[in-house]
Amino acid sequence: MISEIEHREPGSPGPGALHVPDWLTLEQQEWIVGQFHAWASGPVPIRAAKVRGNEMTVRTVCLGWHWQPYRYTREATDVNGARVLPFPNWLVRLGRKALREAGYPESDVAAYTPDTALANFYNDSARMGMHQDKDERSSAPIVSLSIGNTCTFRFGNTKNRNRPYTDLHLRSGDLFVFGGASRLAYHGVTRVHPHTAPGGCGLDTGRINITMRVTGLNSP
Ligand code: MD6
Ligand code: FE
């Protein structure tokens, strides 16, 4: 039973943060899930990153740059040493569309060129602890897409992991943009709700979250 209050209208839990429900069509979701399966099977297979020796419950595959706690490299030195897949152009276009529809000025939209994506798979018992996304050298917004089961997403403050925070549901197809004064807000996933994925989204169990970012790193 999902008990938190539903916000199925676009909403802003903090300055520069925007949640847009049902942003992706089911067809788009299903197509992206297909891409995800291709990414997950190589050249760098999906894996649970280790944070201070402990495996995360979420499994991650990266595009453009490989994220490992707490840095980005071109090669997945903590997995198999292979170079990650390139960042696809369709994802750049989707990121720009997200910023445009989130109300960013056209100059920001045109300049937005994400160069890494973290594609996370959550099984129904996976979680993500409260964290800041601060391994990037750019303050450009992060665009987040959710597919599959609904999660409870905890959007906090920029000072610490504790209250005040807002719990909201990210459902299949939802967009969340983290920018401006919220770019360094703490956030996490407190639970995944089993059997909540809509038919036709491409995923029967678990949840996919894709975040695209600008690393601010120079390409070797
Ligand atoms: C998730 N998301 O939704 C985890 N980070 O599964 C994130 O950690 C996240 O959604 C930065 C910006 C947006 C996000
Ligand atoms: Fe994050």
Nearest CA owner, ligand 1 atom 14: 144
Name the residue among 116, 120, 134, 137 with its Cα closest to residue 213. Answer: 116
Which helix (H) or strand (E) segment is 123 a member of? none
pLDDT band at 6 (very low <50, low <70, confident <90, very high): low
Q: Whose CA is nearest to atom 3 of ligand 1?
A: 209
Cα-to-chain-centroid distance, residue 188? 11
At 8, the pLDDT band (50, 70, 90 cuts) reads confident
Question: Is residue 167 in contact with ligand 1, taking CB distance under 6 Å?
Answer: no
pLDDT over 70 at 49, yes or no: yes
In tens, the pLDDT along 53-90 reads 999 999 999 999 999 999 999 999 999 999 999 999 99
User: Distance from the CA of 66 to the center of ligand 1, in angstroms?
Assistant: 16
- The answer to whether 203 and 147 have CB atoms below 8 angstroms apart is yes
In degrees to the nearest 10, what's the CA dihedral of 60, 64, 66, 69? -80
First-residue to last-residue Cα distance in the chain: 49
Q: List domains and CATH numbers for the chain.
A: 12-213 (2.60.120.590)
pLDDT at position 216 over 60: yes
The predicted pLDDT at position 7 comes to: 57
Note whether 17 and 179 are within 8 A (CB).
yes
pLDDT for res 3? 46
Q: Quote the pTM value.
A: 0.96
Which residue out of 187, 203, 212, 213 has the highest number of ligand 1 atoms within 8 Å of its CB and is therefore the one to mutate?
Answer: 187
Ramachandran assignment for 216, one of left (phi > 0), alpha (psi -120 to 50 degrees), beta (any other) = left
Over residues 88-108, mean pLDDT: 97
Query: CB of 67 closer than 6 A to ligand 1?
Result: no
Q: Is the pLDDT of residue 5 over 60?
A: no
Among 211, 212, 213, 215, the mutation site with the greatest number of ligand 1 atoms within 8 A of its Cβ is: 211
**Cβ–ligand 1 contact at 203 (below 6 Å):** no
> Would you call the peptide bond into 88 cis, given omega within 30 degrees of 0 as the criterion?
no
Each residue's pLDDT tens digit, 147-182: 999 999 999 999 999 999 999 999 999 999 999 999
Q: Is the CB of 142 under 6 A from ligand 1?
A: yes
Whether pLDDT at 185 is above 60: yes
